[in-house]
Structure 1
Amino acid sequence: MKYALPALSLLATTALATPIPDAVAAAPPAFKINKVVYGGSGCPQGTIDVDYTNSAILPIYFSKDFTASVGPNIVADQSRKNCQLNIDILYSPGYSFSVYSADYMGWGDLDDGVKGVVKAQYYFSGQTQTASSTMVLNGPFTGKYTKHDDVPISVWSPCGGEGMLNVNSEVALTPMGGSGSGTLAAVKESGRFTNVLYIKWRQC
Protein backbone atom coordinates (compact mmCIF):
# COMPACT_ATOMS: atom_id res chain seq x y z
CA MET A 1 0.00 0.00 0.00
CA LYS A 2 1.17 3.52 -0.76
CA TYR A 3 0.72 6.67 1.31
CA ALA A 4 -0.09 9.74 -0.76
CA LEU A 5 -0.56 13.42 0.00
CA PRO A 6 0.40 15.41 3.06
CA ALA A 7 -2.44 16.65 5.21
CA LEU A 8 -4.49 19.16 3.24
CA SER A 9 -6.45 21.79 5.16
CA LEU A 10 -9.89 22.22 3.65
CA LEU A 11 -12.28 25.05 4.45
CA ALA A 12 -15.93 24.10 4.46
CA THR A 13 -18.22 25.67 1.91
CA THR A 14 -21.99 25.88 1.84
CA ALA A 15 -22.17 25.46 -1.94
CA LEU A 16 -22.88 21.88 -3.02
CA ALA A 17 -22.63 20.41 -6.50
CA THR A 18 -26.22 19.15 -6.55
CA PRO A 19 -29.11 19.09 -4.09
CA ILE A 20 -28.50 16.53 -1.34
CA PRO A 21 -31.56 14.93 0.26
CA ASP A 22 -31.61 13.81 3.90
CA ALA A 23 -28.47 15.78 4.73
CA VAL A 24 -27.50 19.17 6.03
CA ALA A 25 -26.81 21.78 3.35
CA ALA A 26 -23.34 22.60 4.68
CA ALA A 27 -20.16 20.75 5.55
CA PRO A 28 -18.63 20.91 9.03
CA PRO A 29 -16.78 24.08 10.07
CA ALA A 30 -13.48 22.46 9.07
CA PHE A 31 -12.16 19.19 7.68
CA LYS A 32 -9.07 17.88 5.94
CA ILE A 33 -7.75 14.89 4.06
CA ASN A 34 -5.34 13.42 6.61
CA LYS A 35 -3.81 10.78 4.35
CA VAL A 36 -4.58 8.49 1.43
CA VAL A 37 -3.39 4.88 1.33
CA TYR A 38 -3.70 2.91 -1.88
CA GLY A 39 -2.63 -0.30 -3.55
CA GLY A 40 -3.54 -2.70 -6.34
CA SER A 41 -2.60 -3.71 -9.85
CA GLY A 42 -4.31 -0.59 -11.24
CA CYS A 43 -2.56 1.91 -8.98
CA PRO A 44 1.16 1.19 -8.47
CA GLN A 45 3.09 3.44 -6.11
CA GLY A 46 3.30 7.03 -7.23
CA THR A 47 0.36 6.91 -9.65
CA ILE A 48 -2.55 8.30 -7.59
CA ASP A 49 -3.58 11.94 -7.26
CA VAL A 50 -6.46 12.95 -4.98
CA ASP A 51 -7.63 16.55 -5.20
CA TYR A 52 -10.65 18.55 -4.11
CA THR A 53 -12.69 21.44 -5.45
CA ASN A 54 -14.99 22.07 -2.50
CA SER A 55 -16.53 20.33 0.48
CA ALA A 56 -18.78 18.12 -1.66
CA ILE A 57 -16.53 16.94 -4.49
CA LEU A 58 -13.47 14.69 -4.24
CA PRO A 59 -11.78 13.98 -7.61
CA ILE A 60 -9.41 11.00 -7.82
CA TYR A 61 -7.06 10.70 -10.80
CA PHE A 62 -5.51 7.40 -11.88
CA SER A 63 -2.67 6.89 -14.34
CA LYS A 64 -2.69 4.76 -17.50
CA ASP A 65 -1.72 1.78 -15.30
CA PHE A 66 -5.43 1.44 -14.52
CA THR A 67 -6.02 -0.25 -17.89
CA ALA A 68 -7.26 -3.80 -18.48
CA SER A 69 -6.41 -5.60 -21.73
CA VAL A 70 -7.22 -8.90 -23.43
CA GLY A 71 -6.12 -10.39 -26.72
CA PRO A 72 -4.27 -13.28 -28.35
CA ASN A 73 -0.84 -12.10 -27.18
CA ILE A 74 -1.78 -10.58 -23.80
CA VAL A 75 -1.15 -12.45 -20.54
CA ALA A 76 -4.13 -13.31 -18.36
CA ASP A 77 -3.24 -11.05 -15.42
CA GLN A 78 -3.75 -7.98 -17.63
CA SER A 79 -7.46 -8.75 -18.03
CA ARG A 80 -8.37 -7.27 -14.61
CA LYS A 81 -7.03 -4.23 -12.77
CA ASN A 82 -8.15 -2.94 -9.40
CA CYS A 83 -7.34 -0.14 -6.98
CA GLN A 84 -8.16 -0.08 -3.28
CA LEU A 85 -8.22 3.46 -1.85
CA ASN A 86 -8.37 4.26 1.87
CA ILE A 87 -9.12 7.97 2.33
CA ASP A 88 -8.70 9.18 5.92
CA ILE A 89 -10.73 12.37 6.49
CA LEU A 90 -10.66 14.42 9.71
CA TYR A 91 -13.61 16.72 10.43
CA SER A 92 -15.33 18.69 13.16
CA PRO A 93 -16.99 16.59 15.91
CA GLY A 94 -20.72 16.08 15.64
CA TYR A 95 -20.79 15.33 11.90
CA SER A 96 -20.62 12.29 9.65
CA PHE A 97 -20.37 11.99 5.87
CA SER A 98 -21.32 9.62 3.06
CA VAL A 99 -20.80 9.14 -0.66
CA TYR A 100 -24.13 9.83 -2.36
CA SER A 101 -22.93 9.48 -5.95
CA ALA A 102 -19.81 8.97 -8.04
CA ASP A 103 -18.78 9.44 -11.66
CA TYR A 104 -16.22 7.29 -13.46
CA MET A 105 -14.85 8.41 -16.80
CA GLY A 106 -12.68 6.39 -19.13
CA TRP A 107 -12.14 5.04 -22.59
CA GLY A 108 -12.55 1.63 -24.22
CA ASP A 109 -11.82 -0.21 -27.43
CA LEU A 110 -13.56 -3.61 -27.48
CA ASP A 111 -13.88 -6.06 -30.34
CA ASP A 112 -17.10 -7.91 -31.00
CA GLY A 113 -17.60 -10.58 -28.32
CA VAL A 114 -15.43 -8.86 -25.71
CA LYS A 115 -17.18 -7.72 -22.51
CA GLY A 116 -15.92 -4.98 -20.20
CA VAL A 117 -16.97 -4.49 -16.59
CA VAL A 118 -16.43 -1.41 -14.41
CA LYS A 119 -17.15 -2.01 -10.70
CA ALA A 120 -16.97 0.05 -7.53
CA GLN A 121 -17.54 -0.72 -3.84
CA TYR A 122 -17.83 1.81 -1.00
CA TYR A 123 -17.56 1.22 2.74
CA PHE A 124 -16.11 2.65 5.95
CA SER A 125 -13.47 0.89 8.02
CA GLY A 126 -14.98 -0.84 11.04
CA GLN A 127 -18.48 -1.00 9.56
CA THR A 128 -20.17 -3.93 7.83
CA GLN A 129 -22.53 -2.00 5.54
CA THR A 130 -21.33 -1.59 1.95
CA ALA A 131 -22.63 -0.16 -1.32
CA SER A 132 -21.55 -1.32 -4.78
CA SER A 133 -22.36 -0.88 -8.47
CA THR A 134 -21.44 -2.45 -11.81
CA MET A 135 -21.50 -1.22 -15.40
CA VAL A 136 -21.13 -3.58 -18.40
CA LEU A 137 -19.81 -2.60 -21.85
CA ASN A 138 -20.34 -5.11 -24.66
CA GLY A 139 -18.18 -5.02 -27.78
CA PRO A 140 -17.98 -3.80 -30.39
CA PHE A 141 -17.37 -0.53 -28.58
CA THR A 142 -14.89 2.29 -29.17
CA GLY A 143 -14.89 5.64 -27.40
CA LYS A 144 -15.37 7.34 -24.07
CA TYR A 145 -17.69 6.11 -21.36
CA THR A 146 -19.13 7.59 -18.19
CA LYS A 147 -20.37 5.51 -15.30
CA HIS A 148 -22.62 7.30 -12.82
CA ASP A 149 -23.31 5.69 -9.45
CA ASP A 150 -26.25 6.72 -7.34
CA VAL A 151 -25.10 4.91 -4.24
CA PRO A 152 -28.08 2.65 -3.51
CA ILE A 153 -27.76 2.75 0.29
CA SER A 154 -26.40 5.40 2.58
CA VAL A 155 -23.14 4.24 4.12
CA TRP A 156 -22.20 6.82 6.75
CA SER A 157 -18.92 7.46 8.50
CA PRO A 158 -18.79 7.21 12.30
CA CYS A 159 -20.31 10.14 14.15
CA GLY A 160 -17.27 11.94 15.46
CA GLY A 161 -14.20 13.53 13.98
CA GLU A 162 -12.59 10.93 11.71
CA GLY A 163 -13.72 8.52 8.99
CA MET A 164 -11.78 6.10 6.79
CA LEU A 165 -13.58 5.89 3.45
CA ASN A 166 -12.69 2.82 1.38
CA VAL A 167 -13.27 2.74 -2.37
CA ASN A 168 -12.43 -0.43 -4.28
CA SER A 169 -12.53 0.18 -8.05
CA GLU A 170 -12.08 -2.49 -10.73
CA VAL A 171 -12.03 -2.81 -14.50
CA ALA A 172 -12.08 -6.23 -16.16
CA LEU A 173 -12.39 -7.79 -19.62
CA THR A 174 -13.50 -11.23 -20.82
CA PRO A 175 -12.90 -13.67 -22.42
CA MET A 176 -9.21 -14.22 -21.78
CA GLY A 177 -7.09 -15.82 -24.49
CA GLY A 178 -9.69 -15.46 -27.20
CA SER A 179 -9.30 -14.10 -30.70
CA GLY A 180 -10.90 -10.76 -29.80
CA SER A 181 -8.94 -7.85 -28.34
CA GLY A 182 -9.96 -5.18 -25.90
CA THR A 183 -8.67 -2.29 -23.81
CA LEU A 184 -10.62 -0.62 -21.04
CA ALA A 185 -10.14 2.28 -18.58
CA ALA A 186 -7.38 4.59 -19.82
CA VAL A 187 -8.61 7.93 -21.08
CA LYS A 188 -6.91 8.20 -24.44
CA GLU A 189 -6.67 12.00 -24.59
CA SER A 190 -5.12 12.59 -21.18
CA GLY A 191 -3.84 9.21 -20.03
CA ARG A 192 -5.96 9.59 -16.91
CA PHE A 193 -8.82 7.58 -15.48
CA THR A 194 -11.02 9.81 -13.36
CA ASN A 195 -13.29 9.01 -10.43
CA VAL A 196 -15.21 11.86 -8.83
CA LEU A 197 -16.88 11.21 -5.47
CA TYR A 198 -19.71 13.48 -4.32
CA ILE A 199 -19.89 13.78 -0.54
CA LYS A 200 -22.86 14.66 1.66
CA TRP A 201 -22.72 15.62 5.33
CA ARG A 202 -25.12 15.41 8.26
CA GLN A 203 -25.12 16.39 11.92
CA CYS A 204 -25.40 13.54 14.38
Structure 2
Amino acid sequence: MKFVSLLALLPLAAAAPSTSVSAPGLTVPNEAVPQKVRVVGVSLLGSGCPAGTADVQIDASKTLLEVTFSEYIVQTGPGTKASEWRKNCKLTLNLEFDEGFSFSTLATDMSGFAQIPKGSRGLCTNTFDFTGDGEQSYYSIALAGEREGPFTLSAEPDIVSWSPCGGTSAIMNMNTQCNISPTRDAALIAVDRISGKVTVNVSLDWRKC
Protein backbone atom coordinates (compact mmCIF):
# COMPACT_ATOMS: atom_id res chain seq x y z
CA MET A 1 0.00 0.00 0.00
CA LYS A 2 1.39 3.40 -0.84
CA PHE A 3 0.24 6.94 -0.15
CA VAL A 4 0.94 10.02 -2.23
CA SER A 5 0.15 13.59 -1.17
CA LEU A 6 -1.43 15.71 -3.90
CA LEU A 7 -1.29 19.52 -3.94
CA ALA A 8 -4.58 20.49 -5.57
CA LEU A 9 -8.12 20.06 -4.30
CA LEU A 10 -10.54 18.56 -6.78
CA PRO A 11 -13.41 20.71 -8.06
CA LEU A 12 -16.86 20.32 -6.56
CA ALA A 13 -19.43 18.78 -8.89
CA ALA A 14 -23.11 17.87 -8.61
CA ALA A 15 -24.47 14.42 -9.31
CA ALA A 16 -24.67 14.24 -13.11
CA PRO A 17 -23.30 11.21 -14.97
CA SER A 18 -22.66 13.26 -18.13
CA THR A 19 -20.57 15.95 -16.39
CA SER A 20 -16.82 15.84 -16.85
CA VAL A 21 -14.47 15.91 -13.85
CA SER A 22 -10.71 15.53 -13.54
CA ALA A 23 -8.47 13.97 -10.91
CA PRO A 24 -4.72 14.59 -11.06
CA GLY A 25 -2.73 11.46 -10.30
CA LEU A 26 -5.42 8.92 -11.22
CA THR A 27 -4.69 7.24 -14.54
CA VAL A 28 -6.31 4.37 -16.42
CA PRO A 29 -4.00 2.56 -18.87
CA ASN A 30 -6.67 0.29 -20.41
CA GLU A 31 -8.10 1.77 -23.63
CA ALA A 32 -10.97 -0.76 -23.84
CA VAL A 33 -13.79 1.40 -22.48
CA PRO A 34 -17.53 1.06 -23.18
CA GLN A 35 -19.26 3.90 -25.03
CA LYS A 36 -22.12 4.15 -22.54
CA VAL A 37 -21.88 3.99 -18.74
CA ARG A 38 -24.60 5.24 -16.39
CA VAL A 39 -25.16 5.32 -12.65
CA VAL A 40 -28.84 4.30 -12.52
CA GLY A 41 -29.28 3.82 -8.79
CA VAL A 42 -27.63 4.84 -5.51
CA SER A 43 -28.58 3.83 -1.96
CA LEU A 44 -26.93 5.24 1.18
CA LEU A 45 -26.52 3.89 4.69
CA GLY A 46 -24.36 5.18 7.54
CA SER A 47 -23.62 7.94 10.01
CA GLY A 48 -21.47 9.84 7.49
CA CYS A 49 -24.17 10.26 4.84
CA PRO A 50 -27.62 11.29 6.06
CA ALA A 51 -30.24 11.35 3.31
CA GLY A 52 -29.51 13.94 0.65
CA THR A 53 -25.89 14.57 1.68
CA ALA A 54 -24.00 12.39 -0.86
CA ASP A 55 -23.67 12.84 -4.64
CA VAL A 56 -22.31 10.43 -7.25
CA GLN A 57 -21.21 11.11 -10.83
CA ILE A 58 -19.11 9.50 -13.53
CA ASP A 59 -16.95 11.55 -15.89
CA ALA A 60 -17.20 11.72 -19.68
CA SER A 61 -14.27 9.30 -20.16
CA LYS A 62 -16.12 6.61 -18.12
CA THR A 63 -12.94 6.05 -16.11
CA LEU A 64 -13.51 8.23 -13.03
CA LEU A 65 -16.24 7.96 -10.42
CA GLU A 66 -16.62 10.88 -8.01
CA VAL A 67 -18.49 10.64 -4.69
CA THR A 68 -18.96 13.72 -2.48
CA PHE A 69 -20.24 13.99 1.09
CA SER A 70 -21.47 17.27 2.56
CA GLU A 71 -22.01 16.24 6.20
CA TYR A 72 -19.08 13.89 6.86
CA ILE A 73 -17.52 15.06 10.14
CA VAL A 74 -15.36 13.01 12.53
CA GLN A 75 -14.24 14.67 15.76
CA THR A 76 -12.72 13.71 19.08
CA GLY A 77 -11.84 15.48 22.30
CA PRO A 78 -13.57 16.86 25.39
CA GLY A 79 -17.34 17.04 25.07
CA THR A 80 -17.57 14.74 22.03
CA LYS A 81 -19.59 11.53 21.94
CA ALA A 82 -18.60 8.03 20.82
CA SER A 83 -20.86 8.43 17.77
CA GLU A 84 -18.65 11.33 16.61
CA TRP A 85 -15.33 9.45 16.84
CA ARG A 86 -16.02 7.29 13.79
CA LYS A 87 -18.15 7.86 10.70
CA ASN A 88 -18.95 5.63 7.76
CA CYS A 89 -21.06 5.58 4.64
CA LYS A 90 -21.99 2.51 2.64
CA LEU A 91 -23.08 3.23 -0.92
CA THR A 92 -24.66 0.67 -3.20
CA LEU A 93 -24.17 1.80 -6.82
CA ASN A 94 -26.00 0.26 -9.77
CA LEU A 95 -23.99 0.87 -12.97
CA GLU A 96 -25.25 0.10 -16.49
CA PHE A 97 -22.84 -0.22 -19.41
CA ASP A 98 -22.38 -1.78 -22.86
CA GLU A 99 -22.49 -5.55 -23.07
CA GLY A 100 -19.19 -7.41 -23.06
CA PHE A 101 -17.33 -5.37 -20.44
CA SER A 102 -16.16 -5.75 -16.86
CA PHE A 103 -14.60 -3.12 -14.57
CA SER A 104 -12.54 -2.80 -11.40
CA THR A 105 -11.37 -0.04 -9.08
CA LEU A 106 -7.78 0.94 -9.90
CA ALA A 107 -7.00 3.67 -7.34
CA THR A 108 -8.74 6.15 -5.07
CA ASP A 109 -8.02 9.59 -3.74
CA MET A 110 -9.76 11.35 -0.88
CA SER A 111 -9.99 15.10 -0.19
CA GLY A 112 -11.19 17.01 2.85
CA PHE A 113 -9.99 18.99 5.86
CA ALA A 114 -8.05 17.59 8.82
CA GLN A 115 -6.89 19.04 12.12
CA ILE A 116 -4.83 16.35 13.84
CA PRO A 117 -2.57 17.19 16.83
CA LYS A 118 0.80 15.61 17.44
CA GLY A 119 0.38 12.14 18.89
CA SER A 120 -3.02 11.57 17.24
CA ARG A 121 -3.76 9.71 14.03
CA GLY A 122 -6.64 9.72 11.61
CA LEU A 123 -7.39 6.74 9.38
CA CYS A 124 -9.77 6.57 6.41
CA THR A 125 -10.52 3.38 4.51
CA ASN A 126 -12.43 2.74 1.31
CA THR A 127 -13.52 -0.80 0.48
CA PHE A 128 -15.22 -2.05 -2.69
CA ASP A 129 -16.89 -5.28 -3.70
CA PHE A 130 -19.44 -6.44 -6.25
CA THR A 131 -22.73 -8.11 -5.42
CA GLY A 132 -22.33 -11.76 -6.40
CA ASP A 133 -18.54 -11.76 -5.99
CA GLY A 134 -16.71 -12.43 -2.73
CA GLU A 135 -13.48 -10.52 -3.39
CA GLN A 136 -12.97 -7.11 -1.81
CA SER A 137 -10.61 -4.27 -2.75
CA TYR A 138 -9.26 -2.35 0.25
CA TYR A 139 -7.71 1.15 0.29
CA SER A 140 -6.26 2.78 3.41
CA ILE A 141 -5.33 6.46 3.90
CA ALA A 142 -3.47 7.63 7.04
CA LEU A 143 -3.59 11.17 8.45
CA ALA A 144 -0.87 11.43 11.09
CA GLY A 145 -0.50 14.46 13.36
CA GLU A 146 0.61 17.13 13.54
CA ARG A 147 -1.32 18.65 10.61
CA GLU A 148 -3.97 21.27 9.95
CA GLY A 149 -5.50 22.19 6.62
CA PRO A 150 -6.93 20.65 3.46
CA PHE A 151 -5.68 17.25 2.35
CA THR A 152 -5.82 15.11 -0.76
CA LEU A 153 -4.27 11.64 -0.47
CA SER A 154 -4.16 8.71 -2.90
CA ALA A 155 -4.08 4.97 -2.30
CA GLU A 156 -3.80 1.82 -4.42
CA PRO A 157 -5.25 -1.61 -3.54
CA ASP A 158 -3.43 -4.83 -2.69
CA ILE A 159 -6.14 -6.90 -4.39
CA VAL A 160 -8.03 -5.93 -7.55
CA SER A 161 -11.52 -7.40 -7.96
CA TRP A 162 -13.56 -7.29 -11.18
CA SER A 163 -17.28 -7.05 -11.77
CA PRO A 164 -18.88 -10.24 -13.14
CA CYS A 165 -18.93 -10.75 -16.91
CA GLY A 166 -22.02 -11.66 -18.88
CA GLY A 167 -24.34 -8.71 -18.40
CA THR A 168 -24.91 -5.02 -18.93
CA SER A 169 -24.97 -3.93 -15.28
CA ALA A 170 -23.17 -4.45 -12.00
CA ILE A 171 -23.88 -3.51 -8.40
CA MET A 172 -20.81 -2.12 -6.65
CA ASN A 173 -20.73 -1.70 -2.88
CA MET A 174 -18.49 1.06 -1.52
CA ASN A 175 -17.86 1.62 2.19
CA THR A 176 -16.02 4.77 3.32
CA GLN A 177 -14.97 4.93 6.97
CA CYS A 178 -12.86 7.40 8.99
CA ASN A 179 -11.80 7.45 12.63
CA ILE A 180 -9.37 9.28 14.91
CA SER A 181 -7.36 7.93 17.85
CA PRO A 182 -6.84 8.50 20.68
CA THR A 183 -10.25 10.01 21.31
CA ARG A 184 -9.28 12.12 24.35
CA ASP A 185 -7.52 14.84 22.28
CA ALA A 186 -9.33 17.43 20.16
CA ALA A 187 -9.02 16.43 16.48
CA LEU A 188 -11.09 16.68 13.32
CA ILE A 189 -11.58 15.09 9.89
CA ALA A 190 -14.30 16.94 8.01
CA VAL A 191 -15.53 18.58 4.84
CA ASP A 192 -13.12 20.98 3.17
CA ARG A 193 -13.79 24.56 4.27
CA ILE A 194 -13.71 25.89 0.70
CA SER A 195 -15.67 23.24 -1.20
CA GLY A 196 -17.87 22.15 1.71
CA LYS A 197 -17.32 18.52 0.75
CA VAL A 198 -15.36 15.39 1.51
CA THR A 199 -14.59 13.92 -1.92
CA VAL A 200 -13.64 10.35 -2.86
CA ASN A 201 -12.53 9.80 -6.46
CA VAL A 202 -12.37 6.25 -7.79
CA SER A 203 -10.37 5.44 -10.91
CA LEU A 204 -12.07 2.70 -12.97
CA ASP A 205 -10.34 0.16 -15.20
CA TRP A 206 -12.32 -1.57 -17.96
CA ARG A 207 -11.66 -4.78 -19.85
CA LYS A 208 -13.51 -6.80 -22.47
CA CYS A 209 -14.99 -10.08 -21.28
Normalised TM-score (structure 1): 0.85
Aligned pairs, number:
188
Q: Which has the larger radius of gyration?
A: 1
In structure 1, the residue matched to 2:178 is 171
Is the 2:15–2:57 Cα contact (8 Å) retained in structure 1? Answer: no
Structure 1 segment 1-204 matched on structure 2, within 5 A: 18-20=27-29, 23=30, 25-54=31-60, 55-63=62-70, 65-159=71-165, 160-176=167-183, 178=184, 180-204=185-209
Structure richer in strand, relative to its length: 1
C-alpha displacement of 1:140:
2.0
Give a deviation string over 1:16-63, Cα, whole Å, max 9, x none: x7342xx4x132232211111111000000101112222111111110
Within 1, Cα distance between the matches of 2:18 and 2:28?
25
Within 2, Cα distance between the matches of 1:52 and 1:93?
18
Q: Which moved more, 1:144-153 or 1:165-174?
A: 144-153
Q: Please identify runs of 4+ aligned residues in structure 1 that moved more than 6 A.
A: none
Normalised TM-score (structure 2): 0.83
Letter in 2 for 1:51: Q
Question: Any unmatched runs of 5+ in structure 2?
Answer: 1-13, 20-25
Within 2, Cα distance between the matches of 1:190 and 1:9?
21
User: Aligned pair in 2 of structure 1 residues 52, 31: CA closer, same or farther (>3 Å)?
Assistant: closer
Give the root-mean-square deviation of aligned CA atoms.
2.1
Within 1, Cα distance between the matches of 2:109 and 2:47?
21
Give a deviation string over 1:98-135, Cα, whole Å, max 9, x none: 11111111110122222211111111111111111222
User: Aligned pair in 2 of structure 1 residues 133, 18: CA closer, same or farther (>3 Å)?
Assistant: closer
Letter in 2 for 1:164: I
Question: Any unmatched runs of 5+ in structure 1?
Answer: 11-16
Within 2, Cα distance between the matches of 1:115 and 1:87?
30
